Amino acid sequence: MPTGAMIPARNMPSMIGRNGNVGGLGSSSGLTLGQPNMLEGQLLPLDMTHNTPSESEIARLRDEEFESTKSGSENHEGASGDDQDQQRPKKKRYHRHTQHQIQEMESFFKECPHPDDKQRKELSRELGLEPLQVKFWFQNKRTQMKTQHERHENTQLRTENDKLRADNMRYREALGNASCPNCGGPTAIGEMSFDEHHLRIENARLREEIDRISAIAAKYVGKPVVNYPLMSPPVPTRPLELGVVNFGGQPGMGSEMYGAADLLRSISSAPTEADKPMIIELAVAAMEELIRMAQMGEPLWMTSLDGTCVLNEDEYIRTFPRGIGPKPAGFKCEASRETAVVIMNHISLVEILMDVNQWSNVFAGIVSRAMTLEVLSTGVAGNYNGALQVMTAEFQVPSPLVPTRESYYVRYCKQHGDGTWAVVDVSLDNLRPSPAVRCRRRPSGCLIQEMPNGYSKVTWVENVEVDDRGVHNLYKQLVSSGNAFGAKRWVATLDRQCERLASVLATNIPTGDVGVITNQDGRKSMLKLAERMVMSFCAGVSASTAHTWTTLSGTGADDVRVMTRKSVDDPGRPPGIVLSAATSFWLPVSPKRVFDFLRDENTRNEWDILSNGGVVQEMAHIANGRDTGNCVSLLRVNSANSSQSNMLILQESCTDPAAAFVIYAPVDIVAMNVVLNGGDPDYVALLPSGFAILPDGTTVHGGSIGEAASGGSLLTVAFQILVDSVPTAKLSLGSVATVNNLIACTVERIKASLSCENA
């Protein structure tokens, strides 16, 4: 039975912009995310206890008022006082909502404060109101709740301010009575406040740190760091010699699973004390370069015919002559820039980027494994401003035909004014030149700017030198276009994951719209289980150096690559020997068409051997993104054979402009019932299988998944199957042959179905 396996669950970060609006879930229409309500905060001129007039009634009332005013003004001079009283304009007429109507809308508001058009029409039909009346009532209600919340916050702030004022007075009295420990007389602080005294001490310490780091940089490059106009040097919380925290012996969760020691040996462990001044200087220069690359236009970035940014390599070398050293022979340059607005606040984004586990979880489709080797600075003022980390990571494309890109680099985080942060990576391979290096990161990273309502504007720059000669011919066009590893894929993944996080944290989802899920806890548990399933699939499908793939058949494009794993004492997957098989091939069909075909339960029996002949029914549906294809589903396969029991399948489908996935795993019915009731999903055994869909790169700038006609598709099919429940057993040739036949049959069915449609 095709199933899929996964590394132990890693927690998704509990952080998201608090004002992100999440629409109702439970239908194929998906969420409406990333669009702030432009009417929010504007109190409409209607009392919430009255009916709002319909559009036709508003027009009629205006006509009546105009006629009354007109007649009154015409007869004003000759009319008596009584006549004038009679001819005064009529008052506007309002209709109160009934108590039943108010109660029903109040009840609905508690579950869903942002009803969509369909929900408003249904509610208006039930209550005998116009949809416009319902819309205005909900807008006024939201404004009222916001006002109450702000009033409560103001009260809390006022109380806190009074407390701080009292503390300040106490500190002033203490300073006024302070005595010199040497002579016993009064201190020389005088009228200086406690805060001013503290700031002066901190300022002196920071100035000393800046001078020290500037001297270090000048020693290596011949000029002081402070000459960079857009940057100030990092300020560690304490001297580097005392502030080093070595994580070399504590690899991250995912790294330990897949042999992080091998990756460590490849870069000869953490940097030495002699390397650290050079690393600091390199990070400071990289930050300046990133800021300028994120903000500059022509001639550094040229705009192509399709509106994308293309780096002018000659201009880049003239603008940034220092670089990271000469480009190695046989290496190519890949540079790209992309900008997007995402539904997450800027502080949360910085925390994700600077925490290696959160970062590798959010970008699981791109980062196959990562770890922090050493922390040179944790930042100042209780945040990541000035943080420096030496890291190693492996970047992937979801296919065994594209070699991963390993990189050894320093990551530097810096705040630039209020609400603006930057995080930059730059390779450290020049500290230990090695012939095994196949990828060097020029200054790459992102500029994050705070926006209203918990949103952030992200400008991402990817700039690498790479040897891509090991890429299979199928993927050469996609990789050379920059869409396989470029900024477009990073930003698209971040945008989709921010929407997914907003969905996980949402609390205003009507419980009646999500099938067999009975409560919010069950919804969160199901999303957490699906997240672990997706990460397991992504970790096991690429050509990572942690995997040893063996080619089973032929030498053509449809080669099936297999590998085995032993699962022991892992609550997240069944014990025994797991066989993973994957293959990638080209289809003359657009990625969007392939994605819609594979995720649709109604066409599942055309390719899924497990459900062949059975009826597939969706029992639960959780939308987690703007696109209707972004959702988590629980499917039941009703077997055509009455002697066979029915089967449950957990499936997540997700798509963005750069890539799409359809990932699924059979699940135990008893265990799934526990999850649906809000139980811990970490102990549900999963062996995920599924598909990764990428554009083939033949259209201008690689095309986009969302475009109906954007060239062909590159489809990766991967299965994980438990072939023996005893971990010490030997793999039989029969098991390998069975898996090979299974994946070959699935590929042929997909090709046949889509070819018929395309014809």
pLDDT digits (tens, 9 = 90+) for 205-216: 777 766 666 565
The interaxial angle of helices 99-111 and 131-176, nearest 10 deg, is: 60
Q: What is residue 50's three-state secondary structure? A: strand
| pLDDT tens per residue, range 565-591 | 777 766 777 888 888 888 999 999 999
Q: What is the pLDDT of residue 117?
A: 87
443 with 539, same domain?
A: no
- The whole-angstrom separation of Cα 567 and Cα 573 is 7
Is pLDDT larger for residue 183 or for residue 263? 183
- The whole-angstrom separation of Cα 275 and Cα 241 is 12
- Domain annotation covers residue 342: yes
- Domain annotation covers residue 738: yes
| pLDDT tens per residue, range 296-314 | 888 888 877 666 778 888 8
Domain of 111 in residue numbering reads as 101-152
- Domain annotation covers residue 539: yes
- Domain annotation covers residue 606: yes
- Domain annotation covers residue 178: no
26-35, 186-195, 267-276, 381-390: least confident range: 26-35
The interaxial angle of helices 194-221 and 131-176, nearest 10 deg, is: 100
Q: What is the pLDDT of residue 171?
A: 82
316 with 380, same domain?
A: yes
Look up residue 42 and give its amino acid.
Answer: Q
620 with 677, same domain?
A: yes
- The whole-angstrom separation of Cα 566 and Cα 96 is 69
For the beta carbon of residue 58, count every other beta carbon within 10 angstroms: 13
- Domain annotation covers residue 724: yes
480 with 531, same domain?
A: no
Average pLDDT over residues 446-457: 92
407 with 432, same domain?
A: yes
DSSP for 215-269, please give it.
HHHHHHHSS-GGG-TT------SS-TTT--EE-TTS--HHHHHTTHHHHHHHTTS
- The whole-angstrom separation of Cα 335 and Cα 87 is 76
The last residue of one of the domains, among 118, 133, 152, is 152
What residues have CB less than 8 Å from 654, skipping those under 6 apart? Answer: 496, 500, 534, 624, 625, 629, 630, 660, 661
- The encoded tokens of residue 388 equal 């420096």
Kindly tell me if the per-residue pLDDT of 562 is higher than 70: yes
455 with 582, same domain?
A: no
The last residue of one of the domains, among 455, 476, 505, is 505
- The encoded tokens of residue 731 equal 């793999």
Q: What is residue 425's three-state secondary structure? A: strand
CATH number at residue 590: 3.30.530.20
End-to-end CA, the chain: 32
Average pLDDT over residues 124-151: 89
624 with 495, same domain?
A: no
- The encoded tokens of residue 231 equal 């940057």
Backbone angles phi, psi at 292, to 5 degrees: -70, -40
CATH number at residue 117: 1.10.10.60
- Domain annotation covers residue 202: no
Is pLDDT larger for residue 438 or for residue 213? 438
675 close to 690: Cβ distance less than 8 angstroms: no
- The encoded tokens of residue 396 equal 């992937």
| pLDDT tens per residue, range 89-100 | 555 556 688 888
142 with 289, same domain?
A: no
- Domain annotation covers residue 240: no
- The whole-angstrom separation of Cα 500 and Cα 365 is 14
Q: What is residue 726's three-state secondary structure? A: coil
Structural domains in the chain (count): 3
Kindly tell me if the per-residue pLDDT of 261 is higher than 80: no
499 with 530, same domain?
A: no
Mean pLDDT computed over every residue of the chain: 75
600 with 691, same domain?
A: yes
Backbone angles phi, psi at 439, to 5 degrees: -155, 130
- The whole-angstrom separation of Cα 336 and Cα 357 is 25
Average pLDDT over residues 353-381: 90
Is pLDDT larger for residue 175 or for residue 556? 175
The last residue of one of the domains, among 475, 505, 535, is 505
The interaxial angle of helices 733-758 and 591-599, nearest 10 deg, is: 120
Specify the pTM: 0.65
Kindly tell me if the per-residue pLDDT of 472 is higher than 80: yes
725 with 597, same domain?
A: yes
10-14, 29-33, 436-440, 722-726: least confident range: 29-33
656 with 720, same domain?
A: yes
Going by pLDDT thresholds of 50, 70 and 90, the confidence category of residue 32 is very low
- The encoded tokens of residue 680 equal 């811990």
Look up residue 66 and give its amino acid.
Answer: F
